[in-house]
Amino acid sequence: MNPPKPESPFALFLDIDGTLIEHQAHPDGIAVDDELRDLLVAAGEAVDGALAFVTGRSVAMVDRIFAPLAIPVAGLYGLEHRLTPGGRIETADEPEDVAAVAEAMQREFAEAPGVYFERKGPVLAIHTRAAPEAFDAVKASAEAALARLPAGYRIVAGNAGLEFLPVGALKSAAIDRFMQIEAFKGRVPVFIGDDVSDESGFAFVNEVGGVSIRVRPRGETEARHTLPDVAAVRKWLAEAILACPVRSRRSGSLPVTDPAG
């Protein structure tokens, strides 16, 4: 079903990879164009600052990608946060057990071209987009390694790889946290994502009467609406901004750029 344009004041929660930007073979390979930066600035103004990224990337990585913007963000599936534009960043370190698993698996797949490891504090991502034939071996090794981690970790397999995640790393919890702060409170949440890790966010948004949108869905999804690709996401956002109700323009809500940038 095509996503509706919200008629009430709404908050925007956006995944990044596969949603705003096309996936790349290597996680560092993405680039942000000026058109997307301008779209995000306009979106932030349209919703009085109630705009946040909800992503598996770290906050530091998001800032490097989107510089000079400093948009509120839940990174590492909510294990890291910056709740206000340019505000204090809550970070998460890499536990020794996760480091040991990462190092062992990196040694195991050192000769496998196209398998990339992304160590993000308590989250370990293994990308196989450039080596789909290696996915089954990576998954089998990861499942064996999971037994070496303390209770409270799980493996989530996505579109092109998998991640070791703490059980508390949920996009639903990240969105809920944002909905408790002033800029977002009382608004209809809109969440757009494209992967398995976004499903908890879709379910939460549905429960509170929001709009859930999955990009390029494969199989069953909790999202009630779909879009076919990144270009369609950007088009929908632009149209939603134009259809946005009269804004209150709360003082201090508009800047989404880092003054230091």
Q: Are residues 50 and 175 in the same domain?
A: yes
Q: Are residues 206 and 86 in the same domain?
A: yes
Query: Which residue, 54, 38, 53, 47, is CA-closest to 6?
Result: 47
Residue with tokens 């966010």: 201
Q: Are residues 187 and 211 in the same domain?
A: yes
Q: Are residues 61 and 185 in the same domain?
A: yes
Q: Which helix (H) or strand (E) holds 53?
A: strand 51-54
Distances 103 to 99, 108, 114 between C-alpha atoms, Å: 6, 9, 17
pTM confidence score: 0.82
At 38, the amino acid letter reads D
Number of structural domains found in the chain: 2
Residues annotated as catalytic are 15
Query: Which residue, 16, 59, 45, 27, is CA-closest to 198?
Result: 16
Does residue 247 belong to any structural domain of this protein? Answer: no
Among 10-14, 218-222, 246-250, the least confident range: 246-250
Q: What is the residue range of 66's domain?
A: 10-91+169-242
Confidence class for position 8, pLDDT limits 50, 70, 90: confident
Residue with tokens 């990240």: 174
Tell me the pLDDT tens digit for each residue of 185-217: 999 999 999 988 899 999 999 999 999 999 998
Q: Are residues 104 and 174 in the same domain?
A: no
Q: Are residues 100 and 78 in the same domain?
A: no
* Tokens (6 digits) for 98: 């996760």
Q: Are residues 33 and 161 in the same domain?
A: no
What is the three-class DSSP state of 140?
helix
* Tokens (6 digits) for 227: 């879009």
Does residue 251 belong to any structural domain of this protein? Answer: no
Does residue 249 belong to any structural domain of this protein? Answer: no
Query: Which residue, 201, 235, 247, 199, is CA-closest to 3?
Result: 235
Residue 147, domain CATH: 3.30.70
Tell me the pLDDT tens digit for each residue of 48-104: 999 999 999 999 999 999 999 999 999 999 999 999 988 899 988 899 999 999 999
Residue 13 has pLDDT above 70, yes or no: yes
- Measured distance CA(45)–CA(77) in Å, rounded: 25
CB neighbours (10 Å) of residue 140?
A: 10
Residue 188, domain CATH: 3.40.50.1000
- Measured distance CA(74)–CA(96) in Å, rounded: 23
Does residue 128 belong to any structural domain of this protein? Answer: yes
Q: Are residues 81 and 132 in the same domain?
A: no
Among 15-24, 25-34, 36-45, the least confident range: 25-34
Query: Which residue, 86, 130, 126, is CA-closest to 102?
Result: 126
Does residue 220 belong to any structural domain of this protein? Answer: yes
